[in-house]
Amino acid sequence: MNQKEGRMAEKKTIPEHVAFILDGNGRWAKKRGMPRTFGHLEGCRNVEPVCRACYEMGIRYVTMYAFSTENWKRPADEVKELMRLLEKYMIDAIGLSKKNNFRIRIIGDKSGLSERLQEVIGKVEEFSKDFTGLQLTIAVNYGGRDEIRRAVSKLVKEGNPDVTEEMISGALDTAGIPDPDLMIRTSGEQRLSNYLMWQLAYSELYFTDTLWPDFGKKDLEEALAFYAGRDRRYGGVK
């Protein structure tokens, strides 16, 4: 193997795109005798350092599950606080994106969010659209099945007689973003919870007991070591 081939082989051990399910905020707070909302606040604070660590390790795309379509079932006070935190985070994200050269996109059914939150989301997406560093996608009011339903509905309304996989991929919220190579879920739960159901078809899945607010560089390194040891065949044979 020559030097160029060696570099190419080395690059393949680092995923281009990592998706996260940010789980365990409430349990993290409960362990400390604090309300669940305190855990969500700490979870928000952990997004930037983890994103920086991802980019430093060579990961180009990160997608994070912030609020699902099912999360509306939570207690009203908790949902209200989550929406407040999301709005604050989106405002702060303008400075975060500028400081780190991050592009930020939001996926999910934005029509289900308040007008104020939709306005703030539009501002951060427009502000960061030309940034060339980490490409950060945040899923808000997002459900994988709902995303597929919306995509297929759009294609049907356009009068497409034969819908292909490529057409569905192009109609999803994540159009233009490569599918995740690796999905990391924190807090020990081992399910997808309606997250990126189409995009994760061939992703490697990594589950850690670490609660999201405690997830750091060491945890990320362990996840990448797991990924590097996987033999990705996509249904074929080597």
Domains of the chain: 15-228 (3.40.1180.10)
* Helices and strands counted in the chain (H then E): 9, 6
Q: Give Cα separations from 30 to 4, 34, 37, 82 (angstroms).
A: 51, 5, 10, 17
Look over the chain and give the mean of its residue pLDDT values, rounded to a whole number: 92
pLDDT for the residue numbered 225: 96
For the segment 132-159, the average pLDDT, to the nearest whole number, is: 96
23 flagged as catalytic = yes
Residues 6 or more apart whose CB falls under 8 angstroms from that of 47 comprise: 22, 64, 89
Which one of the listed residues 2, 71, 92, 146 is annotated catalytic? 71
pLDDT for the residue numbered 233: 60
Confidence class for position 232, pLDDT limits 50, 70, 90: low
Q: With a cut of 50, say whether residue 113 has pLDDT above it.
A: yes
Question: Are the C-beta atoms of residues 173 and 108 closer than 8 Å to each other?
Answer: yes
pLDDT for the residue numbered 227: 97
Residues 6 or more apart whose CB falls under 8 angstroms from that of 86 comprise: 66, 67, 117, 140
Q: Hey, what are 30's tokens?
A: 């409960």
User: How much helix, strand and coil, in percent to the nearest 5, is found in the chain?
Assistant: 50, 15, 35
Q: Which helix (H) or strand (E) holds 221?
A: helix 217-228
Residues 6 or more apart whose CB falls under 8 angstroms from that of 9 comprise: 1
Question: Are the C-beta atoms of residues 19 and 200 closer than 8 Å to each other?
Answer: yes
For the segment 199-213, the average pLDDT, to the nearest whole number, is: 97
209 flagged as catalytic = no
pLDDT for the residue numbered 7: 41
* Stronger pLDDT, 177 or 8, i.e. the higher one: 177
Q: With a cut of 80, say whether residue 5 has pLDDT above it.
A: no
**Radius of gyration, alpha carbons of the chain:** 18
Q: In the beta sheet, which residues pair with residue 68? A: 142
Which one of the listed residues 23, 146, 181, 219 is annotated catalytic? 23
- Digit-coded pLDDT (tens) for 23-68: 999 999 999 999 998 999 999 999 999 999 999 999 999 999 999 9
pLDDT for the residue numbered 126: 97
Query: Length of the chain, please?
Result: 238
